[in-house]
Structure 1
Amino acid sequence: MTALTWLYVPGDRPEIVTKALAAGADVVVIDLEDAVAPDRKRYAREATAERLTDPQPTPVHVRVNAVDSPLATADLAALASLPGVCGLRLPKVTSPAQITHVAAATARPQGGSPPLYALLESALGIERAYDIATAHPTLRGIALGEADLRADLALRDDTGLDWPRSRIVVAARAAALPPPPQSVHPDTRDLDGLQASCVRGRALGFLGRAAIHPRQLPVIERAYLPTEEEIEQAETVLKAAETEQGAQALPNGTFIDAAVVAQAHRALALAHRAR
């Protein structure tokens, strides 16, 4: 099933992790990095390792500490081989070499490695987006870390993020990776703002979004699922494509060619996710 919601939860709060696993997110991301104070890092790692000794009812990813730090080395050693780890999210990635290093360090004895997801949070990471996205077969996705990127670029508002956002959407597609999810909307009570931001993100080519509170999940899902009108249009396109070959126009003026048919298939595949 295509994931649309990624719920972050602090790794040093096992009781919150338990609630998150039942909150309805497609993926729960246990965070060992920004959400955990320095003096709680070891406890967060140990509590997460204990939790993920067994598979969980919801797929769980772990965001480890910054990839070049000793904390990340300890995180990866403790977690990479556990049955409950469905993915590792790597913050502060700036080079392909970091991905290949982590892939080698997390190779499981039975073969393979846990899927890796790179978070690009700096100007250098954005400049190298495609090289990072193609660094290793174990890398399954890229995404932005927008809070750090805003600070790195000294941005005053979201306008400055338009180009980096488009950059990683294009890089992911060029690397044959899934469309990236949007970064978190930090105001957990601003659901109207979240909705508007998701509409903008969908228009830019993102698919789904990270969340930091369960109340954000239904807003994100609604924003990213096709509307009834979009579903009806996609069904009309595919029905017409079955009966006619080559380019054509529908009665409403919509022009149909192979690209439009492909978009219709994607829309219906996503719609069927919710049925």
Structure 2
Amino acid sequence: MTSRTQQPQRTTVRPDLARSWLLVAGSRPDAFDRPPTVDAMILDLEDAVAPDNKPAARAAVVDWLSRHGTAWVRVNDATTPHWADDLAAVSDLPGLSGVMLAKTESGGQIDATAEQLAPGTPILALIESAVGLEAAPEIARADGTFRLAFGSGDFRRDTGMSDDVMAMSYPRSRLVVASRAARLPGGPIDGPTISANETILQRDCDATVSLGLTGKLCLHADQAATVNRALSPSAHDVAWAREVIADLGADGERVRAGSDLPQLAKAKKVTDLAKAFGLD
């Protein structure tokens, strides 16, 4: 669903529906506050922080989440010594919304991560390799997994695939199917667009939507407005949905054909999303 509907300045969006996920280096506490257009913040202790700087970045994240606000934290992958240190530092912080596990390659890594966190802490499983993609169904079914996310840059480096939309359609589609089959509460989060070119960002967002992903990582706050528009129902979508509901009845009392109930279900989903995003 593409859209040019103007977004409100500040809307609190549930994490299962969040569209724009802004990654911010854990070494930059001056940038930890969530910009108005961003649905969710992820404070990054992994790729955005050099090994020698990880202790200082971890301390900055702990300080901010203890005293200032809420955010998700991307922790280092389970094969590194930094993983245990990250989890020990953030597990009980009052401002922790959840964690993103870098380079997830098995359901066991999700289970091990969940054991180090407060019960019920949601985990975003970031899949960044061929091994991770093959294990996507198992990862999606792990009890701690909240949503899947696509680490597209590392995945391309691992597989040698290009960033062409066609080349990336298989891994994206596989994550969508695995997510839906596991009945996760939210659809997969797509990888970021590195280019600052608005045309390329819009192209990537269109691919995200067409393949069924419902969120997208952002590297810059000014990408969020475009991501939110592209991943929200358009004004045309909302108008269509309201017409369908008015015609068929909110409870389907005027259903006439076999295709009516699926249309009604889609219309209700569109109106629910519009309400959640503050578009109604």
Length-normalised TM-score, structure 1: 0.89
Report percent identity of matched pairs. 35
Relative to its length, the structure with more helix (as a share) is 1
Query: Which residue of the partner structure matches residue 19 of structure 2?
Result: 4
Query: Which residue of the partner structure matches residue 258 of structure 1?
Result: 261
Query: Which residue of the partner structure matches residue 201 of structure 1?
Result: 208
Comparing 153-162 with 213-222, greater Cα deviation is found at 153-162
Report if the CA contact (8 A) 1:53-1:82 is conserved: yes
**Per-residue deviation at 1:259?**
2.0
**Per-residue deviation at 1:114?**
1.6
Q: How does 1:116-195 map to 2 (within 5 A)?
A: 116-136=123-143, 138-158=144-164, 159-177=166-184, 178-187=186-195, 189-195=196-202
Report if the CA contact (8 A) 1:182-1:208 is conserved: yes
The code of the aligned residue for 2:240 comes to Q
Paired residue for 2:217, among 210, 213, 223?
210
Task: Give yes or no for the alignment of 1:224 onto 2:210.
Answer: no
CA 1:245/1:23 → structure 2, altered by over 3 Å: closer, same or farther? closer
SS of 1:34's equivalent?
Answer: coil
Q: How does 1:240-251 map to 2 (within 5 A)?
A: 240-242=247-249, 243-247=253-257
Runs of 4+ in 1 over 4 A off after TM superposition: none
Task: Work out the CA distance in 2 between the residues paired with 1:261 and 1:77.
Answer: 47
Task: Give yes or no for the alignment of 1:78 onto 2:78.
Answer: no
Query: Which residue of the partner structure matches residue 251 of structure 1?
Result: none
Unaligned runs of 5+ in 2: 1-12
Task: Give yes or no for the alignment of 1:31 onto 2:44.
Answer: yes
**Per-residue deviation at 1:66?**
1.4
Report if the CA contact (8 A) 1:54-1:82 is conserved: no
Length-normalised TM-score, structure 2: 0.88
Task: Work out the CA distance in 1 between the residues paired with 2:87 and 2:256.
Answer: 52
The total of aligned residue pairs comes to 258
Report if the CA contact (8 A) 1:55-1:85 is conserved: no
The code of the aligned residue for 2:32 comes to V
CA 1:208/1:146 → structure 2, altered by over 3 Å: closer, same or farther? same
Unaligned runs of 5+ in 1: 249-255
The code of the aligned residue for 2:100 comes to R
Paired residue for 1:66, among 77, 94, 109?
77
Offset from partner CA, 1:173-195 (integer Å, 9 cap, x none): 111111112110011x2112111
Comparing 81-90 with 236-245, greater Cα deviation is found at 236-245
CA RMSD between the two structures: 1.5
Task: Give yes or no for the alignment of 1:13 onto 2:28.
Answer: yes
Report if the CA contact (8 A) 1:55-1:83 is conserved: no
Query: Which residue of the partner structure matches residue 274 of structure 1?
Result: 278
Bigger RCO (CA 8 Å, 6+ sep): 2
Task: Work out the CA distance in 2 between the residues paired with 1:157 and 1:90.
Answer: 23
Task: Work out the CA distance in 2 between the residues paired with 1:239 and 1:185.
Answer: 39
Offset from partner CA, 1:188-239 (integer Å, 9 cap, x none): x211211121112101101121111111011111111111111111111112
Task: Work out the CA distance in 2 between the residues paired with 1:71 and 1:213.
Answer: 25
Report if the CA contact (8 A) 1:25-1:217 is conserved: yes
Paired residue for 1:88, among 99, 104, 118?
99
Comparing 216-225 with 235-244, greater Cα deviation is found at 235-244
Task: Work out the CA distance in 1 between the residues paired with 2:68 and 2:106.
Answer: 31
